[in-house]
């Protein structure tokens, strides 16, 4: 109940003048609560995804984050407080502040800047990914040859994966096969490890300055090795660099 007390204080103290983003946040909170709790009581069982209220929240969230540029940098603290399964928050911004991933109600939304506006889409659920209200944990970005790429880090119960997004000239999201592996070119790579939960912040790390992705390696026992593999972007794709 502490979270909801804090949320109530935020809502009643938020200014209702100036920017409309405070009012927009209140509206989203209203739809979120209707979708999340039945009958609007946090002590009762949560509603199932796929309900009418869930669809209404999805549509409203996509509409707002896909048309109002200011939402790309707005903190949405109330939504973070409402997302009880994500104690560290549920919104991840790229390091260039041009894109975001929102993890809300077992859904993952990708919002990005395009021209002078913003767009927003639902991300597909990754096969085998952790479903219980936490799809992603980070979003990196880097630019090369006037093109920007985004690396979304998503979660499994026993590991992590990374997927690459980019925005094409028409404003749609592309998922390009930019990882060179033994099995061929892939859009995403992942790992599974018995001891992956030893580090709650995860093990996949991206060095944006040098465009190197550090990917954990597991041994024959299924446990993490100390030294990760390095994938360096060569201007066209990521390739193991031997670092």
pLDDT in tens, 32-60: 888 876 555 555 555 667 788 889 999 99
Q: Given pLDDT bands bounded at 50, 70 and 90, which one contains residue 88?
A: very low
CA–CA separation, 237 and 71 (whole Å): 32
Give residues with Cβ within 8 angstroms of 201, minimum separation 6. 137
Please give the angle made by the CA atoms of 20, 118 and 67, to the nearest 5 degrees.
50
Give the C-alpha distances (Å, rounded to integers) separating 145 from 35, 180, 206, 207, 212: 43, 19, 19, 18, 16
Alpha carbons 142 and 206: distance in angstroms, whole number:
10
% of the chain exceeding 90 in pLDDT: 54
Name the least confident of 108-112, 123-127, 146-150, 207-211: 123-127
- Return the closest-CA partner of residue 196 out of 168, 165, 154, 224: 224
- Max CA pair span of the chain: 60
| Of 141-145, 200-204, 220-224, 229-233, the least confident | 200-204
What are the tokens at 2?
Answer: 């502490």
The arithmetic mean of pLDDT across residues 75-99, rounded, is 80
Mean pLDDT of 112-138: 82
State the Cα–Cα distance between residues 166 and 150, nearest whole angstrom. Answer: 6
- 84 has a pLDDT exceeding 70: no
Range 173-178 average pLDDT: 95
- pTM of the predicted model as reported, rounded to 2 decimal places: 0.85
d(CA 226, CA 211): 21
Strands, sheet with 179-181, edge to edge from the N-terminal-most edge strand = 184-186, 179-181, 238-240, 229-233, 212-215, 205-207
Residue 18 has pLDDT above 50, yes or no: no
For 177, residues 6+ apart whose C-beta sits below 8 A from its C-beta are 184, 185, 186, 187, 237
């Amino acid at each position: 109940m502490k979270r909801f007390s804090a949320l109530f204080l935020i809502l009643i103290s938020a200014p209702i003048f100036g920017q409309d983003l405070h009012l927009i946040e209140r509206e989203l909170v209203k739809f979120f609560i209707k979708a999340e709790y039945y009958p609007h009581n946090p002590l009762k069982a949560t509603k199932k995804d796929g309900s009418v209220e869930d669809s209404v929240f999805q549509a409203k969230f996509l509409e707002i984050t896909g048309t109002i540029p200011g939402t790309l940098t707005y903190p949405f603290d109330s939504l973070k407080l409402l997302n009880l399964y994500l104690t560290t928050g549920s919104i991840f911004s790229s390091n260039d502040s041009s894109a975001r991933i929102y993890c809300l109600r077992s859904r993952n939304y990708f919002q990005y800047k395009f021209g002078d506006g913003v767009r927003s889409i639902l991300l597909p659920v990754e096969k085998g990914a952790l479903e219980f209200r936490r799809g992603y944990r980070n979003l990196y970005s880097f630019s090369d040859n006037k093109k920007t790429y985004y690396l979304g880090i998503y979660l499994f119960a026993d590991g992590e994966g990374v997927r690459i997004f980019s925005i094409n000239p028409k404003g749609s999201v592309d998922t390009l096969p930019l990882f060179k592996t033994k099995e061929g070119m892939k859009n995403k790579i992942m790992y599974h490890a018995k001891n992956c939960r030893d580090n709650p912040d995860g093990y996949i790390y991206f060095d944006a300055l040098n465009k190197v992705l550090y990917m954990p390696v597991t041994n024959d026992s299924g446990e993490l090795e100390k030294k990760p593999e390095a994938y360096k972007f060569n201007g066209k794709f990521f390739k193991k660099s031997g670092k």
